[in-house]
Amino acid sequence: MSEQHLYYGDYLQLDKLLGAQTLESAKHGPPVHDEMLFIIVHQAYELWFKQIIWEIDSVIELFGQDVVDEQNMGTAIARLRRISRIQTLLISQISVLETMTPLDFLDFRDYLFPASGFQSAQFRVVENKLGLLPGDRLFLAGAEYTSRFSDEDKIRVKALEDEPSLFDLMERWLERTPFLDYEDFHFWEAYRHAVQSRIEADRTVVQTNPNLSDAEKQAQLKDFDLVLNQYEAIFDPDKHTLERDAGRLRLSHRAFQAALFITLYRDQPALQEPFRLLELLMDIDESFTTWRHRHAQMALRMIGRRIGTGGSAGAKYLEKSADRSRVFSDLFSLSTFLVPRADRPILPAGILDAMRFRYEE
Ligand code: HEM
């Protein structure tokens, strides 16, 4: 092999990569067979985390501009889709690790203390770059999530809390959505009117239904009031602020309106890609939650009710963390506020025209 030709093993630095599986058990006695799987699965995760960070960084770069170049939308969508596909792999990888039985794990688990996946700095980088809020994090035995990091990892991860996250940039991009106000059309007013008309129509149906007793009518009318209350939380900017302060909603009022607009009119050509983007953010959010629950189930199966090697309450801590660690939950809340296509406010011809793709000779 001539020297100037690139060699497969050199290009991939396989000497480093394949020389990096040191069995802790072998330092204490005979090597435990399944520890190799344990190490390789964790290393594979870290490699994929690196790829995910690479993709998030590029999307942050594209969306960090004052105006997102239309040509970059397709690139951003393709990269978010790649993250979502990687997540599918990450979830299915758990079942490979589960071919190791709890008894096999006990053969080397004691050698791992106090190391834990809790110390995966790259996992925290992903969370912070996506936009997980510091206030939504759980404490582990009274200590914050970076408490078990080396100084270097701590500085790297904490610094990201002050950087614009994917959530922040998506929120700003949503706030810039055109068409919400166009000449004398105001989407929010028109939407509010459509919702109120629908609720009033449903109310009349109940009130005039001869088959319902008075008590049944009262019960059903009370349900409408509850629905109306939910809508008030988004119609009334002050109530929306209260919802945000209480942590039940996160997007700004304007960004929430834009996300609803995109979702309602997603068939319009100009909104198809923005809608795809919102869907992918939900896919990514949902897949991380699925991974967290799946990981918690695996931990329960492996260690039962024992504490984790990092000192947490084990599976119980992990389930709680899964429920708390959502970033784009507002996008899931949108479904509460959708109206059927037939009830959507009719968009003025000028907006429809502006949202069309057209080729003219
Ligand atoms: C035998 C397999 C595994 C068991 C029993 C296990 C168990 C645990 C437990 C109990 C915790 C809570 C912290 C602690 O007390 O240590 C934890 C955290 C964590 N583990 Fe695992 N784990 C396993 C495999 C993995 C793998 C393959 C990954 C992939 C990187 C991983 C990533 C994480 C992460 C990121 C956390 C922090 C989660 C959070 O704080 O919400 N774990 N693990």
Contacts 24+ apart (CB under 8 A), 75-78: 76/277, 77/273, 77/276, 77/277, 77/280
Task: Compute the distance from residue 324 Cα to the ligand 1 centre, in Å.
Answer: 16
Q: Which atom of ligand 1 is nearest to the CA of 313?
A: 15
Q: Is the CB of 295 under 6 A from ligand 1?
A: yes
Q: Which atom of ligand 1 is nearest to the CA of 49?
A: 30
Give burial (CB, 10 Å; 0-12/13-18/19+) of 213.
exposed
* Cα separation, 349 vs 184, whole angstroms: 12
Q: Is the CB of 309 under 6 A from ligand 1?
A: yes
Q: Is the CB of 314 under 6 A from ligand 1?
A: yes
Q: Which atom of ligand 1 is nearest to the CA of 318?
A: 41
- Please give the pLDDT value at position 4: 85
- Please give the pLDDT value at position 357: 81
Contacts (Cβ under 8 Å, ≥6 apart) of 79: 55, 58, 59
For ligand 1, atom 33: residue with the closest CA: 117
- Please give the pLDDT value at position 227: 82
> What dotted CATH number matches 21-354?
1.20.58.480
Q: What is the mean pLDDT of each run of 10 residues along the chain (361 residues)?
A: 84 98 98 98 98 98 90 95 98 98 97 95 98 93 91 98 98 95 94 91 92 93 85 90 93 96 96 97 98 97 92 92 95 92 94 84 66
- Please give the pLDDT value at position 361: 66
For the entire predicted model, the pTM comes to 0.94
Contact of 122 with 50, CB cutoff 8 Å: yes
For ligand 1, atom 23: residue with the closest CA: 299
The pair of three-digit structure tokens given for residue 344, joined into one six-digit string: 């959507």
- Please give the pLDDT value at position 352: 94
For the chain, give every domain's residue range.
21-354
Q: Is the CB of 45 under 6 A from ligand 1?
A: yes
Task: Compute the distance from residue 107 Cα to the ligand 1 centre, in Å.
Answer: 18
